[in-house]
Structure 1
Amino acid sequence: MATPNMYRLVANLKYWLVAGVTTAAGVGLLYVSGIAWFKKHESLGTLANQLGGLLIASVALATIWDLVGRRSFFLEMLEVLKLKHDIHLSGLESVSTDYSKVVDWDACLGSAKKVDVFAAWATTWRNTNQVKLQNLVSQSDAKLRVCLPDPNDPACVRLLATRFKSMSAADVRTKLNEAIDGYKQLDGNSRSGRVEIYTTPVFRAFTAYRIDNRFVVTLYHHKDSRSGSVPAFTCHQGGSLYGFFEDDLEGVLSASVKVYP
């Protein structure tokens, strides 16, 4: 048997006590407004009559709110608070259908010290942020790690060609080799150790960028046409989403082959 909530019982008791007193006062005012003295003082009688009716109507409205409105509002607030709590636990920061706007790339890359790239090739992203990436790898305490599909793995290349239907296996292999060379060039081929490139046969289900303590993740289309926007979101370190993508990335990197330096 459930233990009664004493605070709720006390609150309900107070409410019904106040409601009873207010109703009694309203009925009393309605009654006295009709006695002879108030008939001789018509303005005061009218005031007492209206005040009595107002008190009774107020109690009726308050009772309806207590029985229906307050409980509905309480349930709605529980849903909102639960959603807020879930978002807090996940570490979700922002959501968009435009990866270029889901985060301020200039600000993030401009102050970054460690960047990880997990993508098919991310050529557009690399070209757009080339200056920022070159500035990043020019710093002695910075590191850029890139994990790309293995261009020498036939199954991986074939899967990518299947996803990007307008490309042949040869096109995919060329694209991957160009990506590897493009990321090498950020280091000036100096083998400074600040740029690391890995290849793996793991097929991409999403693109992820880790910038210091934040992940930026974009999803892929599964329809034949790749036109249109795709969902993208950011999450910060300490949240369950960040933990998932961190474990996933580190797991892939640990089983990958370093091809540079």
Structure 2
Amino acid sequence: MANNTPYTLVTNLKYWLLASGGLVVGVVLLYVSGLPWFEDHQSFGALTSQLGGLLIASVALATMWDLVGRRSFFREMLEVLELKQDIHASGLTSIGTDYRKVVNWDDCLGSAKNLDIFAAWATTWRNSNQTNLQQLASRSDAKIRICLPDPADPNCIKSLATRFNMTQTEARNRLSEAIEGYKKLDANGSSTGRVEIYTTPVFRAFTSYRIDNQFVVTLYHHKDNRRGSFPALTCREGGSLFAFFEEDLEGVLDASTKIYP
């Protein structure tokens, strides 16, 4: 599509006027350098000839840049700016393949007031952050909500067993252990109301942790071998990613069953 904005037209007109003027001056200098007077003043003749050639070469290079280079550079910068705008709108703050490194868990959990956990069981994560989680649960102004699969739902257990390549009994035991483990965060099992546990038959497509005004999300493998790295990202409140994960989490919690306290 042609660009007919007045500023662009004026800029292009100025460029072509200057280029035409430079070309004319260059040709004139080359012509003048061949006059008889310069035969007796060879140094001036050589200088005039070189200046003329330089002007002509400069105009040629500038024209090539304007016709090809500048437009290519502009398109490249436009792509970068559009990508930056997309990232800003989404609220994405970091991304990687190791959920342990996309965020500083000690800092986040150490200062958090609200933590929501949406996971299959997150046993490794819970054990790694046991001290931080217990300290968080001990603060009177803090609250932890955990949403786990329903161990009493046969379809849920079957799906988990298939996804994580284990027997249904193993999956049910993992869930029971996770529920008891999260209960112990609450003053070692004495209900304070600061730890809430919910169960739902919703199939997990990812694991998410909402820590105050940010989400940490990790994805799952779909291959038989579950080992390896997992894509992980963080996003801030105010972005489209945060809005999606927040709406998704709240929708699941609204349809879940509260089993503790």
Which bin holds the TM-score, normalised by the shorter protein? over 0.9
Shift of 1:38: 2.1
Query: Which residue matches 1:170?
Result: 169
Task: Tell me, in whole angstroms, the C-alpha distance in 2 between the residues paired with 1:66 and 1:144.
Answer: 60
Aligned partner of residue 87 in structure 1, secondary structure: helix
TM-score, length basis structure 2:
0.97
Query: Which residue matches 1:223?
Result: 223
Aligned partner of residue 199 in structure 2, secondary structure: strand
The alignment's C-alpha RMSD in Å is: 1.3
Query: Which residue matches 1:40?
Result: 40
Query: Which residue matches 2:248?
Result: 248
Shift of 1:2: 7.7
TM-score, length basis structure 1:
0.97
Aligned partner of residue 233 in structure 1, secondary structure: strand
Query: Which residue matches 1:102?
Result: 102
Task: Tell me, in whole angstroms, the C-alpha distance in 1 between the residues paired with 2:36 and 2:110.
Answer: 86
Query: Which residue matches 1:112?
Result: 112
Match of 1:178, as an amino acid?
A: E
Task: Tell me, in whole angstroms, the C-alpha distance in 1 between the residues paired with 2:138 and 2:39.
Answer: 95
Query: Which residue matches 2:190?
Result: 190
Match of 1:58, as an amino acid?
A: S
Task: Tell me, in whole angstroms, the C-alpha distance in 2 between the residues paired with 1:243 and 1:236.
Answer: 9
**CA offset digits 1:183-217 (Å, max 9, x no partner):** 01011112111111100010100000001100000
* Identity value in percent: 70
Shift of 1:99: 0.8
Match of 1:73, as an amino acid?
A: F
Task: Tell me, in whole angstroms, the C-alpha distance in 1 between the residues paired with 2:2 and 2:51.
Answer: 42
**CA offset digits 1:100-147 (Å, max 9, x no partner):** 111111111111111110000000000000001111111110011100
Aligned partner of residue 251 in structure 1, secondary structure: helix
Match of 2:173, as an amino acid?
A: T
Match of 1:176, as an amino acid?
A: L
Superposed, which structure 2 residues align to 1:59-74 within 5 Å? 59-74=59-74
State whether structure 2 residue 89 is matched by structure 1 residue 89: yes
78-87 vs 214-223, which moves further: 78-87
**CA offset digits 1:26-83 (Å, max 9, x no partner):** 1111111112222222122111111110110000011111111111111111111111
Query: Which residue matches 1:11?
Result: 11
State whether structure 2 residue 258 is matched by structure 1 residue 258: yes
Task: Tell me, in whole angstroms, the C-alpha distance in 2 between the residues paired with 1:3 and 1:150.
Answer: 60
Task: Tell me, in whole angstroms, the C-alpha distance in 2 between the residues paired with 1:181 and 1:3.
Answer: 66
Match of 1:34, as an amino acid?
A: G
Aligned partner of residue 186 in structure 1, secondary structure: coil
Shift of 1:178: 0.4
Aligned length: 260
